């Protein structure tokens, strides 16, 4: 019986099994490390864009009076502006710029990403005791895969408010 057990067929099967397990382990660890690296870079990029967006929204934009020069239905003219919601007298956010930006996002959300300087989706909420303004796409209604959030205290016409910005994606940061 011993001779039959250690026959050439069994030894060949053991070699194939060990070889296949080695290859499977190698592929698994390689893909796992690539996925981790890719995911980490995606989150870092989202956080970077979120910080830049938070900073730029508090500024006046470029040109400073972009909202008065804007034609909402002329999307090609949006390429010449940088959206900022800050008022010219440094009194917080400008209500007229907020309304202009809201109209832009309602007219063509996708085209507002370039003047904002973001590649991901965004969702902006401006809350005060008197109103709640929502701009962009809600990540929870669009099956967001990853969300990065920033909240800043602001003022609008001297009244305190909170600016909450979500930068999100509903796609994986997997290997591309």
pLDDT for residue 176? 39
Mean pLDDT split into 10-residue runs, the chain, 176 residues = 65 88 86 58 83 92 89 87 86 90 95 90 93 94 90 90 93 56
Number of separate domains in the chain: 1
Give a yes or no: residue 116 inside a domain: yes
CA distance 93 to 110: 23
Query: How many angstroms from the chain centroid is the CA of residue 135?
Result: 15
pLDDT at 84: 92
149: in domain: yes
pLDDT of residue 79: 84
The answer as to whether 175 is a domain residue is: no
Whether residue 46 is contained in a domain is answered as yes
Instruction: Show the domain range for 61.
Output: 10-169
Cis peptide before 63 (omega within 30 of 0): yes
Using one digit for the tens of pLDDT, what is the confidence trace for 97-128? 999 999 999 999 999 998 898 989 999 999 99
Q: 3 lies in a domain?
A: no
pLDDT at 41: 64
Q: Is there a domain that residue 2 lies in? A: no
């Amino acid at each position: 019986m011993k001779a039959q057990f250690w026959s050439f067929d069994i030894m060949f099967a053991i070699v194939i099994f060990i070889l296949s397990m080695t290859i499977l382990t190698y592929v698994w660890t390689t893909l796992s490390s690539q996925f981790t690296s890719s995911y980490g870079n995606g989150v870092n990029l989202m956080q970077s864009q979120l910080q830049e967006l938070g900073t730029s929204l508090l500024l006046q934009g470029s040109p400073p009076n972009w909202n008065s020069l804007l034609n909402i239905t002329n999307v090609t003219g949006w390429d010449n502006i940088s959206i900022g919601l800050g008022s010219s007298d440094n009194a917080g956010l400008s209500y007229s710029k907020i309304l202009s930006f809201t109209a832009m996002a309602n007219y063509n959300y996708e085209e507002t990403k370039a003047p904002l300087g973001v590649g991901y989706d965004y969702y902006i909420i401006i809350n005060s005791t008197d109103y709640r303004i929502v701009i962009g796409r809600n990540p929870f209604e669009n099956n967001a895969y990853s969300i990065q959030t920033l909240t800043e205290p602001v003022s609008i016409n001297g009244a305190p408010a909170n600016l909450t910005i979500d930068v999100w994606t509903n796609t994986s940061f997997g290997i591309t």
